[in-house]
Structure 1
Amino acid sequence: MGRQDGSTRQVSAASVDSSTAPILHVDLDAFFASVELLDRPELAKVPVVVAGKSLRSVVTAANYPARKFGVRSAIPLSQAMRLCPHAIVLEPHFEKYRHYSQQVMAIFDDMTPLVERLGIDEAFLDVAGARGVYGPPAVVAELIRSRVFAETGLHCSVGAASTKFVAKLASGRAKPDGLLVVPAAATLDFLHPLPIGALWGVGAATEESLAKRGFRTVGDIARAPMATVQRAVGDASGRKLHELSNGIDPRPVTTRSVEKSVGHEVTFEVDTTDPETLRRELLRQANAVGVRLRSGGWVGRTVVLKLRYSDFSTITRSRTIAEPTDLGRRIYEEVREIYEGLGTHGAVRLIGVRVEQLAPGGGQAMGLWDDDESWREAEDTMDAVSARFGRGLLTPAALLKAAKPRGDASNAHRIEY
């Protein structure tokens, strides 16, 4: 699909017939960076990177001027600064991202009841039923784009197609700040010249396997017998890729989003072997995860510890508990036991806590007594104080012994969908 810096941008003419393209994929452009630039408009045309200040941080986001130098999310900040030494680094503010995401999603909900949220900054919309109110899909898409900008100051790109897969590809090609409509009859003309890496599910290993058999483009996959593709990548994957390459994607827009996990992690400024430092960080993260669970109305049954050592080797260990929880203290007790059970450690570069197997909270049955009752009361109190006076006024005493470690905030406050 080309570089994600706008160099392959393609948009539709105003006269395009969008009547057969009712599925929209709306994607906010360089979302985190764009939100930060709302407060720093003078930086809009210069390279900007969103990351923690430490050179050991990773890039959370980069604006389009920075992307032209090869800067992209998830690379080390040190690498980003080598690629673009004059880039301006802005620290992330996740509360602001959630605020603007909620505003944008409310606009989507106002246009159609069929909205499938993919995360904080993108969604599928089925606007077939909006024709009688607003007009054809292209008109709805332009109205969404204009409303998002007028109400938030942010830009978004939209792909419109007859299927979700093609709509998502089209929104990527329309970036930044564009609309690309792919009418149903033009689907194969749009798909077939694309490299095979554009197909969902084709990572580096799959792409290499297909390339060895002479497949270079999506059209190559589409024209080959399905059995040939299946011999390369397996029956299920081969069928899926063959169908996608022929424009077949029957998945509807679904309005129910199921949250998979809630987690926090941090990269230390200096690798540490100090067990007290690590335990305090586990406590801090466990409490943060508990807050996120309660605010989202979730409980979880599986607690996960993640450790990355100085040699970049990474381990994860998990434990499933008898009763689902949203309490930071219970999460901490479980993850600490996982940590202690690992025995001796090398120097730790990154540590993280995650809770999985989520379910809606409030429905779990209580026994005759609640072993966590005192902690539940304490955390309910902290939530109430935080709601009124701001988070951080109350905190576990153990966390007062040391300041929060500075490090990579790019993966903190993450909710995965």
Structure 2
Amino acid sequence: MPEGELVQISPIAQSMSRARHDLPGGSDSDELPILHVDMDAFYVEVERNRDPSLNRRPVIVGGSGRRGVVASASYEARVSGVHAAMPTAQARRLCPTAVVVTSDFSGYIEASSAIAEVFESITPHVEPIALDEAFLDVSGAHRLFGTSREIAWLLRDAVREAVGLDCSVGVASNKTLAKLASVAAKPTVRSTGPEPGLGVRVVGVAEQLDFLWAHRVEALWGVGPVTLRRLNEIDAFTVGDLADKSVEQLVAAVGAAHGAHLAALAQGIDDRPVHPGGIPRSVSHEETFETDLDDPDLIRGETVRLADAVASRLRANGLSGQTVTVKIRHPDFAMQTRAHTLPEPFQTGRTLAHVAHRLVGTLDTSGGIRLLGVGVSNLSETASAESVAGVGLRGENLAESPEPCQLAFDLGLPPDGESGPGGDAHHGPTGDSELDRKLAEALDAIRGRFGRAVIAHGSAALRDGVPGERRWGR
């Protein structure tokens, strides 16, 4: 730091620094650099902030229709066995008194942004994992805020002050241990009802192997159903069992790279650093439909609608992508995907819709599809774009805007077998044209002024709602 330069400390950080005091938790944790912060029942608690009548009642956030999926469940609902990713219909049977709430993401994003500000007031080394969780490297924050244990408790207080939500914090020497520690700090569900959690769990170096080895192997990142089955076949049920296996045994069971990785994790070795911010790996949207779609025009319209939503998010975050991926799930739950990489980065709905439509056309949809997804990966930063949400045209007051009417226009997707301008016959365009970019700018300006639902692409306007509102099924 240049001599004489002043360090700017945010009001949040100042108040947290003043609040240092004796706090519950383990022993001194100065040398434990990694925190994992995970919000407790995030979607549910945001909804309760919106509607206090939901407090202390079993609540399910997700799709409410026949094919809806649970995104989050309150701890009161979890007592009945409800959990995320469960079909909503099943959750209703398990907990008939539950209130099912469907919502768009605006409130969640707003709360997540406020939480991120709290994190960044403590350290610039914040790695978001999702809207409701992040890793923090606080090794440079001890002088101002105290031990990592103290920082963890102060963070909980600051998050509660900022957004009125609770979080659980794990403190440890690396990411794997911090993640497991945050789970151990969470509220628990008993047959008699939910019980408060520790709030903060510190895993000191001296206890970290005992703590780690007591976990089931499926608690480790990267151990999915297939890996779990293969590990169980060699009698590895806990991380302690895993630690007793040789690297050769693990490699034979799950492959060279994965086996070596799991062998290291089982010994508490995880050298992954906290990557501040950074570019996400992908941007995607998918929808589960109330009834199977088998009409080519409806499938085409949904493809366009999803492509438009993904492209809008790319532009809002100043990103471009090169690889397009589509995914469908058949009525029998079989999944198919296709991907294509363009020679140039793109960020417009027209380009994405062209390529996604071509890719969907290579899949067998004759028997109907229950789910469709469109995603973009291989991302890079581009010139910043104004946010799609809430940005007025030339700064005009949105409240004074006239009542909008719904508009629709055609993306101009060519008939199957033909290509658009500057494209190839199989995958469509190879990048964004100047016309594409101007169209996207106009879309963002109109939606920024009148709202996202006011304008849609051609056949996509035939279906109600926008991606994000229906992400958990209807």
- C-alpha distance in 2 between matches for 1:355 and 1:224: 39
Which residue of structure 1 aligns with residue 213 of structure 2? 192
Q: 8 Å contact 1:196–1:202 — kept in the other structure? A: yes
How many percent of aligned residue pairs carry the same amino acid? Answer: 42
Are residues 393 and 212 of structure 1, via their aligned partners in 2, closer, same or farther at CA, if it must alter by over 3 Å? closer
| Letter matched to residue 256 of structure 2 | D
Are residues 168 and 344 of structure 1, via their aligned partners in 2, closer, same or farther at CA, if it must alter by over 3 Å? closer
Aligned ranges for residues 288-303 of structure 1 at < 5 Å? 288-303=309-324
After TM superposition, the structure 1 stretch with the greater mean CA deviation from structure 2, 171-180 or 313-322, is 313-322
Are residues 383 and 262 of structure 1, via their aligned partners in 2, closer, same or farther at CA, if it must alter by over 3 Å? same
Which residue of structure 1 aligns with residue 367 of structure 2? 346
Aligned-pair CA distance for 1:402: 4.5
- C-alpha distance in 2 between matches for 1:353 and 1:269: 18
- C-alpha distance in 1 between matches for 2:288 and 2:242: 42
After TM superposition, the structure 1 stretch with the greater mean CA deviation from structure 2, 120-129 or 257-266, is 257-266
Which residue of structure 2 aligns with residue 5 of structure 1? none
- C-alpha distance in 1 between matches for 2:255 and 2:245: 15
- C-alpha distance in 2 between matches for 1:161 and 1:268: 42
Aligned-pair CA distance for 1:54: 0.7
Which residue of structure 2 aligns with residue 333 of structure 1? 354
2:274 corresponds, among 241, 249, 253, to 253
Which residue of structure 2 aligns with residue 159 of structure 1? 170
Aligned ranges for residues 12-411 of structure 1 at < 5 Å? 13-14=24-25, 16-176=27-187, 178-342=199-363, 345-362=366-383, 372-404=433-465, 409-410=470-471
Map Cα deviations across residues 324-362 of structure 1 (whole Å, 9 max, x no partner).
Answer: 211111111222222334466112222222122211124
Aligned-pair CA distance for 1:90: 0.2
Could you list the runs of 5+ residues in structure 1 that have no partner in the other structure?
Answer: 1-11, 413-417
Are residues 380 and 222 of structure 1, via their aligned partners in 2, closer, same or farther at CA, if it must alter by over 3 Å? same
Aligned-pair CA distance for 1:406: 10
TM-score, reference length from structure 1: 0.88
| Letter matched to residue 154 of structure 1 | L
TM-score, reference length from structure 2: 0.78
Which residue of structure 2 aligns with residue 415 of structure 1? none
Aligned-pair CA distance for 1:283: 1.6
Q: 8 Å contact 1:267–1:407 — kept in the other structure? A: no
| Letter matched to residue 202 of structure 1 | V
Aligned-pair CA distance for 1:158: 0.1
- C-alpha distance in 2 between matches for 1:149 and 1:294: 32
- C-alpha distance in 2 between matches for 1:231 and 1:307: 33
SS of 1:392's partner is helix
| Letter matched to residue 78 of structure 1 | A
SS of 1:200's partner is coil
| Letter matched to residue 55 of structure 1 | R
| Letter matched to residue 57 of structure 1 | G
How many residues were matched structurally? 396
- C-alpha distance in 2 between matches for 1:230 and 1:399: 48
- C-alpha distance in 1 between matches for 2:289 and 2:215: 41
Are residues 390 and 185 of structure 1, via their aligned partners in 2, closer, same or farther at CA, if it must alter by over 3 Å? same
Q: CA RMSD in A?
A: 2.5
Map Cα deviations across residues 166-220 of structure 1 (whole Å, 9 max, x no partner).
Answer: 0100001110361000111111121122222223322233333333333332222
Are residues 285 and 141 of structure 1, via their aligned partners in 2, closer, same or farther at CA, if it must alter by over 3 Å? same
After TM superposition, the structure 1 stretch with the greater mean CA deviation from structure 2, 79-88 or 255-264, is 255-264
If asked which structure has higher relative contact order (CA below 8 Å, sep 6+), I would say: 1
Q: 8 Å contact 2:70–2:87 — kept in the other structure? A: yes
After TM superposition, the structure 1 stretch with the greater mean CA deviation from structure 2, 380-389 or 148-157, is 380-389
- C-alpha distance in 2 between matches for 1:103 and 1:110: 11
Aligned-pair CA distance for 1:280: 1.5
| Letter matched to residue 248 of structure 1 | I
| Letter matched to residue 140 of structure 1 | I
Aligned-pair CA distance for 1:227: 3.3
- C-alpha distance in 2 between matches for 1:221 and 1:14: 29
SS of 1:60's partner is strand
Aligned-pair CA distance for 1:408: 8.0
- C-alpha distance in 2 between matches for 1:406 and 1:254: 29
Which residue of structure 2 aligns with residue 4 of structure 1? none
- C-alpha distance in 2 between matches for 1:255 and 1:197: 27
SS of 2:235's partner is coil
| Letter matched to residue 88 of structure 1 | V
| Letter matched to residue 210 of structure 2 | D
Map Cα deviations across residues 105-124 of structure 1 (whole Å, 9 max, x no partner).
Answer: 11101001211111211111
Aligned-pair CA distance for 1:140: 0.6
| Letter matched to residue 255 of structure 2 | G
Aligned-pair CA distance for 1:312: 2.1
Q: 8 Å contact 2:336–2:363 — kept in the other structure? A: no
Aligned-pair CA distance for 1:258: 3.0
